[in-house]
Structure 1
Amino acid sequence: MEYMDRSARFLRPYLVRDAARRTMPLGLLGLMLGGCVIKEWAPLPETYMSNKRNLLNMYFVKVAWAWTLCLLLPFIGITTYHVTRSVAVVVRRLSALLVGTAIWYSCTGVFLYIEDLTGSCYKSVAFDVPLKEHPNKLQCLKAGGFWNGFDISGHSFLLSYCALITIEEMAVLHIVNISQNSRMHTVVNGFFLALSFLTMIWLWMFFTTAVYFHDFSQKLFGTLAGLLAWYGTYKYWYLTPLSPGLPPERTSWSARKSNRSL
């Protein structure tokens, strides 16, 4: 438990403070642009991470929203109830995950539609012999062909979006004060460390995508979609009354001043 406490205290200044939320969007754009420069002007040799079947891609990135959802759901529920003591507020805040799921599902569908709309089927990966009898990607792939369309990077979108909303939700730890001797302290620290670890994976795989996969424009549109989804919710809609609202950041702690901060 002591190791967990030390790890949480070490990570909090980097992931919980307001500076983290302010710099994360620019940091993501910087990672994307830096990775694109490397890919175009100083391409790296093939490595384990350039293989789409690497473990992080297969078991984390391909189910990134499921991982994010499974950890944020109890984290938001526990911390929000601890701060507000209101089940209604907890339910309202958890609805942000429904909004996020709708955004993920809708954007994925739009990306697939754009790829279908802008693409054509070819006999080989050289894209030199068109197969006009297969007008969409599904038919093309079933026939053993190769579809070439504008494939907006779903990885760039989802990984940037997951990292941004996780950082936003962890801001509640500014005001979560729990006795170090309580079981709740261990539980909250455990979820915080798990979310921190997950965020590191998302950032690393986001950069890996920029270095090894997709064209610049495909990664740019994917990243901008993630940034727009985050900004439209946490920086605009969630500030209004008819919304899930932001994580609670101000409350009265007069009855808990004697407790030690996480």
Structure 2
Amino acid sequence: MSTRRKPDPAFNGAVPLTSTMPGSTIRPPLSSARRSPFLPTRLEALLLAIYPSTLLLGSIFSTLSPASRSAPYSAVSQSHPPEFAPSYFAQKRNVFNVYFVKVGWFWTSLAFAVFLVFHPGFGAGVSKRRVNAVLRYVAVTSYWVFVTQWFFGPPLIDTMFRFTGGQCEKLRDPEQRDDMSDTREFITAATCKAVGGTWKGGHDISGHVFLLILGSSLLWLEFLPALTRVEGLRDGRLITLNDGKTASVAVEKERIKMEDDATARGVKFALGVAGLMWWMLLMTAAYFHTWFEKFTGLAVAFTGLWLVYFMPRGVPQVRALLGMPGV
């Protein structure tokens, strides 16, 4: 007479995770699950799909709008001249562009700090969840610096511009236009503008699109677990365990119940910043840059997000350092 094998507790309900992922449960993935741990969940995919949809919507609007089509467009400045701008938001000097977008990482950092300090899901004091969140922020911020500010010399955006044939063309003194060899020493957009030149000739990845998508997605992916309440959407983030097996990780229901006031503590301000970033992304899509410049800005932003928020799910060693939002 054969004996019935006792079911593995890991496959008969939730099993607490180790101390590296406190306050969470780990379950076997559903038999219907076929996606990779490196890919987003349904809810995350829907959220990320907002960004290409926004760029597409803004670009279609700029193509169909009579005001935009009739206004001249400067490929050098990637915008409409101020005197012909079809909208207040089409002017580079509009208040939201000057005091919000151009200092967008300050607002991203402030919103993240408010969420980090006041949200109850991080626990008290210097908890592991809070340390992991700070490390994720440092990783994304470093990526932003490398792309837009400095990468052992010029930032990656300026390096790509020069790699595709761009250079600094000095316009302050017309006699210097013919002497392009002397102006190539200005290897960043900032130094070129400082000497009265124009950054011209190469492919310019949209820095606005990159910043607005990277910053708002950082906020969304951090506080998304605090906003989700639907079981089918909350669960389902797949991870690779140390033994190579795939499992599903989720926030414990007890913690979800404990955080019912999450939207009132730390999340509202971050939601406001992320919402305004989305609006300015739509305005950027409608009035600034070419289709390809906006697409590359999107692609570069998504690359950074994948490296920090999705790649660690399939690499246990990286996940031990960066953790995962909400667990």
Query: Aligned AA for 1:120?
Result: Q
CA RMSD of aligned residues (A): 2.9
Are the structure 2 counterparts of residues 44 and 233 from structure 1 closer, same or farther at C-alpha, using a change threshold of 3 Å? farther
Task: Report the equivalent of 1:243.
Answer: 321
Q: 3-state SS of the aligned residue for 1:235?
A: helix
Higher strand proportion (structure 1 or 2): 2
Contact 2:161 2:203 in 1 (8 A): yes
Q: Give the distance between the partners of 2:279 and 2:102, measured in 1 at CA.
A: 14
Q: 3-state SS of the aligned residue for 2:183?
A: coil
2:167 maps to which of 109, 120, 138: 120
Contact 1:159 1:202 in 2 (8 A): yes
Task: Report the equivalent of 1:161.
Answer: 214
Contact 1:49 1:208 in 2 (8 A): yes
Count of residues in correspondence between the two structures: 225
Task: Report the equivalent of 1:134.
Answer: 183
Contact 1:32 1:206 in 2 (8 A): yes
Q: 3-state SS of the aligned residue for 2:111?
A: helix
Extract unaligned runs of 5+ from structure 1.
Answer: 1-17, 250-262
Q: Give the distance between the partners of 2:190 and 2:206, measured in 1 at CA.
A: 18
Which deviates further from its counterpart, 43-52 or 106-115?
A: 43-52
Q: Give the distance between the partners of 2:259 and 2:159, measured in 1 at CA.
A: 51
Contact 2:111 2:273 in 1 (8 A): no
Q: Give the distance between the partners of 1:189 and 1:100, measured in 2 at CA.
A: 26
Q: Deviations over 1:23-72 (max 9, x none)?
A: 12211101112222333454644111011111111111111111111221
Q: Give the distance between the partners of 1:73 and 1:215, measured in 2 at CA.
A: 34
Matched ranges for 1:210-229 at <5 A = 210-229=285-304
1:204 maps to which of 259, 264, 279: 279
Q: Give the distance between the partners of 2:117 and 2:256, measured in 1 at CA.
A: 13
Contact 2:213 2:298 in 1 (8 A): yes
Question: Is the radius of gyration larger for structure 1 or structure 2?
Answer: 2
Q: Deviations over 1:133-173 (max 9, x none)?
A: 31135564344332213211011111111121211111231
Query: Aligned AA for 2:49?
Result: L
Task: Report the equivalent of 2:58.
Answer: 35
Which deviates further from its counterpart, 167-176 or 198-207?
A: 167-176
Task: Report the equivalent of 1:12.
Answer: none
Are the structure 2 counterparts of residues 130 and 145 from structure 1 closer, same or farther at C-alpha, using a change threshold of 3 Å? farther
Q: Deviations over 1:56-94 (max 9, x none)?
A: 111111111111112212423443665588623321222
Extract unaligned runs of 5+ from structure 2.
Answer: 1-40, 69-85, 149-154, 229-254
Alignment of 1:144 with 2:196, yes or no, is yes
Q: 3-state SS of the aligned residue for 2:102?
A: helix
Tell me the CA shift for residue 188 of structure 1.
5.8
1:110 maps to which of 156, 180, 188: 156
Q: 3-state SS of the aligned residue for 2:199?
A: strand
Tell me the CA shift for residue 176 of structure 1.
4.5
Query: Aligned AA for 1:203?
Result: W
Q: 3-state SS of the aligned residue for 1:146?
A: strand
- Under a length normalisation based on structure 2, what TM-score does the superposition of the two structures give? 0.60
